Amino acid sequence: MWKKLFLSLVLLIWITLSLPYYVLAQDLGYQITLRRDFGYSMGGDIRGTFSLRLIGEENPVEQVTFLIDDEVIGTLTEAPYRLQFHTDDYAIGRHNLSAEVHLQDGTTLRTEPVQANFISADREGNFVTTTLISIFGVIVFSFIILAIIQTALLKSKRGQKRSQKGYYGLLGGTICPKCGKPFSRHIWGINLVVGRLDRCEHCGKWVMTAKATPEALQDAEDLTQKSPTKLETANISTEKTLEQRLEDSKYIDQ
């Protein structure tokens, strides 16, 4: 009985002495942050060079000991209390990162652990490849959807007239430098330094274009209605040449 009473008294004294430790840790608010310096980080998965840094009032601190799974990886005695490490120096898997803060009054505090999953180079490569493929797929899918929407709004198939004169869609219109006809700029056009590479709806050629003003588009529409384009003129000339050759062939001596 006396033995149980003695053990209970020792336990009560230990709990009482431990109270200031936890209260002080909560009041001072010491914690650590994990920062990526160079490498991969996605959620809790990390690989590369990272830094642990103490956050809190630095004046009462005498030294800080950083730990990974209760294993000391470094001790600093001067601010800023920041320690750099590389994940390849440790085993692959989940780890608890923490720090022991030694104050000038002799008190030692332990920060709340930060959990991280150290991954291998192969797994990092798989994650990066999957992420890039996903991003590329989303971009391509978005372009396809935008192209379908633009086509549906404009109803501008080659050889067909625009249902609403003067309307060139969300990106505005441009004038083909080859055939001189106006057409709507497409979502899939490529923006370059000197202009926008786009495909003409009328002559089918890829040309370098710039956004035209409403006045210029109107003039191009009027000119197209009044006179044939260079391409049409060339086609007419070719047809006449063929007809002339056939006609002349009648008079060649056999």
Q: Closest Cα partner for 54 from 116, 98, 24?
A: 98
User: How many Å apart are CA 157 and CA 154, to the nearest integer?
Assistant: 9
pLDDT digits (tens, 9 = 90+) for 52-101: 999 988 889 999 999 999 899 999 999 889 999 999 999 999 999 999 99
| Contacts with 83 (C-beta within 8 Å, 6 or more apart), sequence order | 51, 52, 53, 66, 73, 74, 76
> Between these two residues, 244 and 23, which has the higher pLDDT value?
244
Element (H, E) at 199: strand 196-199
Q: Closest Cα partner for 101 from 136, 59, 134?
A: 59
- Tokens read off for 157: 């198939």
What domains, with CATH codes, occur in the chain? 28-119 (2.60.40.10), 155-247 (no CATH)
User: How many Å apart are CA 194 and CA 207, to the nearest integer?
Assistant: 12
> Between these two residues, 23 and 213, which has the higher pLDDT value?
213
Q: State residue 190's pLDDT score.
A: 83
